[in-house]
Structure 1
């Protein structure tokens, strides 16, 4: 198995307690508590949770004023949800390549892609990393070109910029995902953080039919139904209590992989600044990727191919060559990455990789 969620008796007990209260299951007090925990942790004014991390990006773009026909710059290396989130309402994702060492958007490529139709850019913090040039360079670029900066921090809960700010908290809106593989999970789910009162109010309306207030059926704007549930919030609250210990373990696992693989020629673990950021997956690059994956499968070790270049996926089929994302699509492999991995299991994986190369 390459990845699996981690739920325990605490989540089960929290769900049972809530069910005994006879609640309506739809979002209410538990959801508010979960939102407050995320806002407190990221040191932001507002957190709004929604049904998944794709919709959270869609709502972020809509709240920021992105419309059908506008161009939104996105990395060509990312989960396909990033471009899909704006394509959903008719905006056009424009793909640019990423930095080889961080897999975050290459700012020079962004500059070259800006046109009169560009309205926003979605900066993806790949595997919790930040761009080499720093978030400040992207802030400045957006200010100079009157662009909205949205942070897709789906993989970055528990990761910080060197200036101490949580990744996702710098742009107009930041987005997290709580899908099954993430460091904390509610099965499905997403969260938006912002320090902008107007944006927060707009987001809450957008996710709740455009209601003028809670519990009524009067609508002064268009909205949709992307609400959370109390059951998810019960799980999320207990997961947030475990976040710090999981951050520690994720960093320990990275160090174990780094030490276990560094002497093996032919394979490279992508570097991570574990002082500030928390790895989500453990990524390696190698020429014999498919052969290694098949070999490890025979040894009962689960792996997963890293994202291929989105512009070349059948769903998009957009012309263009992007050197780094093309390379990742050919050489990138995710090793077993679940937080429950033991030291012995990691040593076994590294030993089997060493045996493959011998």
Structure 2
């Protein structure tokens, strides 16, 4: 086992995806989105309970179109967490809206609702709530819904990391705000290589989304354009893979929960490692995320033992791409101590024990 490098994360495609793609090609498919895409969208609707699902080419564009369909325009302010993948603010920056960075909760890394409330101005038009690693904020989703309604704001759920995660009342994450967005890039619980979907229960938003992704066409395949739109369509090859991946989702959800439980059990006595609050009854961890003391040296040590680990997202406001003044203690702490441990669904119990043993060995030697 020690000779095989344990990746921090890797996708998992099998014989089922291979056979499905071969069968599709043998049937003379055109590859552009059609019936398989509709089947994939229907699977997402059934699993999440959403009324509508719109597939697009990636998870960043899904956020962009979600914002546009919610009426966000250039110059509008959108509150986003300072801890998130940079796609979250970039998705609105793309069309001239302005992200306003707010710090997150130390326990969940989701938006701190008190700081969100304080950041609202006359220019604020939306809150983009990122459910980090499938977790929901301590205040609860209904508190964010009320805050948005009280201030006439749209609530966009960036649920890129949250497929398979539910709120305590049984609603799937992403279905409660005006619109929700999921990503299917390579590291996600299920993957189509790239790709994303937007879900909503709003008839008008769903109609806008379908037009926005397809040149503003008034109907499929025609060249009558009632509104401005673009080309952000899915492909049938992605959908063929996605359909097979969805069949495996529930097993992966359960396995991800088992993996986190094993990590927490085996690292329970290591005071230098801190886990975040994860409701395993309702939510599914995408990655195994921790605060780790002496993070850089731990990462080097693990790599020497053929174990991959990845530094978590640094505070966005201090990245060169943004350079916006402001102190955000929790997201800055993530930048100093946040680490993702190996998290793939296909990890074995033996591999997890090997990883944990080496983490314990590192701290025993270092401290």
TM-score range, shorter chain: over 0.9
Q: Which runs of 5+ in 2 are unaligned?
A: 1-6
Secondary structure in 1 matching 2:106: coil
Q: CA deviation at 1:269?
A: 2.1
* 1:214 and 2:220 correspond: yes
In 1: Cα distance, 2:325 partner to 2:167 partner: 34
Other-structure match for 1:88: 94
Q: Residues 46 and 193 of structure 1 are in contact (CA less than 8 Å); yes or no, is this contact kept in structure 2?
A: yes
Q: CA deviation at 1:23?
A: 1.4
* 1:149 and 2:150 correspond: no
Q: CA deviation at 1:286?
A: 2.0
* 1:62 and 2:68 correspond: yes
* 1:16 and 2:22 correspond: yes
Other-structure match for 1:255: 261
Q: CA deviation at 1:130?
A: 0.2
Q: CA RMSD in A?
A: 0.5
Other-structure match for 2:358: 352
TM norm structure 1: 0.99
Other-structure match for 1:230: 236
In 2: Cα distance, 1:211 partner to 1:179 partner: 27
**Among residues 79, 85, 92, which one is paired with 2:85 in the alignment?**
79
Other-structure match for 1:288: 294
Stretch moving more, 283-292 or 132-141: 283-292
Deviations 1:160-187 (A, max 9, x none): 0001000000001000000000000000
In 1: Cα distance, 2:138 partner to 2:62 partner: 26
In 2: Cα distance, 1:45 partner to 1:141 partner: 24
Q: Which runs of 5+ in 1 are unaligned?
A: none
Other-structure match for 1:199: 205
TM norm structure 2: 0.97
Structure 1 stretches of at least 4 aligned residues deviating more than 2 Å after TM superposition:
none
Secondary structure in 2 matching 1:271: coil
In 2: Cα distance, 1:260 partner to 1:320 partner: 38
Secondary structure in 2 matching 1:239: helix
Query: How many residues in Structure 1 have an aligned counterpart in Structure 2?
Result: 358
Stretch moving more, 260-269 or 172-181: 260-269
Other-structure match for 1:307: 313
Q: CA deviation at 1:265?
A: 2.2
**Among residues 112, 116, 121, which one is paired with 1:110 in the alignment?**
116
